[in-house]
């Protein structure tokens, strides 16, 4: 009986979403936004209010359809990724990772989202802002290490976001000393390069942190081992704050996320 009801819910959600996507907007160049330097990355985590669970199924679907509409409206300028945090993070229910060439475009998207019928039932838990840049230290690495880093990393269903703040001493160190410690850091991380995908965002001046680190993996145990290995290198002594909060969730397409949230 329950499976039959879920089937009805799924059918209703898919029908509603189909109506929204009948005339899709021209999408932004996703590969460019995710891979080139000089792009803003924003992580926005949300929690549902107490009234969300009290809404009837049809109303929840209608509100989720408005959520879908806002996302589609902004895809022309933004690359938007969606994640389910519920069950793995106590901070929030879902996460949006947004890439944009203009930070104000991300701001407008999040404002429109919170002004939508769906947004009236969610509370912003945390927002991290960062900027992608060319690698600062990799050009000085050995040729073998640079070659090893070119090997592709595997994506996975698990996503982890960890903000990091460095101490003042780190920024006062000469460039060559920081470069040597980052080479040690990279060598310690290399055994997990294949199974843990990583992306770095520079956040100094844009947020209360210096870096936002984003990871994907199919093997959480490898990520666990990676963190233990990085805690042992000299550079880790300069981490004044790591996490608080750390966000852990799974990668879902927008339609998949909406289907789960409609239950």
| Residues labelled as active-site residues | 198
Spell out the SS3 assignment of the chain: CHHHHHHHHHHHHHHHHHHHCCCCCCCCCHHHHHHCCCCEEEEEEEEECCCHHHCCHHHHHHHHHHHHHHHHHHCCCCEEEEEECCCCCCCCCEEEEEEECCHHHHHHHHHHHHHCCCHHHEEEEEEEEEECCCCCCHHHCCHHHHHHHCCCCCCCCEEEEEEEEECHHHHHCCHHHHHHHHHHHHHHHHHHCCCEEEEEEECECCECCCEEEEEEECCHHHHHHHHHHHCCCHHHHHEEEECCCCEEEEEECHHHHHHHHCC
């Amino acid at each position: 009986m329950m499976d039959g009801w879920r089937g009805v819910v799924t059918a209703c959600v898919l029908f509603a979403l189909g109506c929204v996507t009948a005339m899709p907007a021209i999408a932004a160049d996703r590969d460019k936004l995710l891979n080139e330097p000089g792009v803003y990355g924003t992580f926005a985590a949300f929690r549902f209010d107490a009234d969300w669970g009290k809404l009837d199924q049809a109303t929840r679907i209608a509100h989720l359809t408005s959520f879908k509409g806002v996302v589609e409206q902004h895809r022309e300028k933004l690359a938007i990724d969606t994640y389910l945090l519920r069950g793995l993070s106590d901070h929030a229910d879902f996460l949006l990772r947004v890439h944009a060439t203009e930070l104000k475009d991300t701001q407008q998207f999040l404002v429109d989202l919170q002004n939508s019928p769906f947004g009236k039932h969610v509370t912003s838990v945390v927002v991290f802002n960062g900027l992608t840049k060319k690698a600062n230290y990799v050009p000085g690495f050995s040729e073998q290490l640079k070659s090893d880093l070119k090997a592709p990393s595997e994506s996975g269903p698990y996503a982890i976001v960890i903000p990091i703040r460095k101490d003042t001493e780190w920024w006062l160190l000469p460039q060559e000393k920081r470069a040597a410690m980052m080479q040690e850091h990279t060598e310690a991380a290399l055994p997990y390069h294949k199974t843990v995908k990583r992306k770095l965002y520079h956040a100094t001046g844009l947020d209360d942190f210096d870096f936002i680190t984003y990871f994907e993996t199919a093997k959480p145990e490898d990520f666990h081992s990676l963190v233990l290995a990085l805690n042992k290198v000299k550079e880790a002594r300069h981490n004044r704050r790591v996490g608080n909060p750390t966000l852990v969730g799974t990668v879902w397409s927008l339609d998949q996320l909406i289907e789960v949230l409609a239950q």
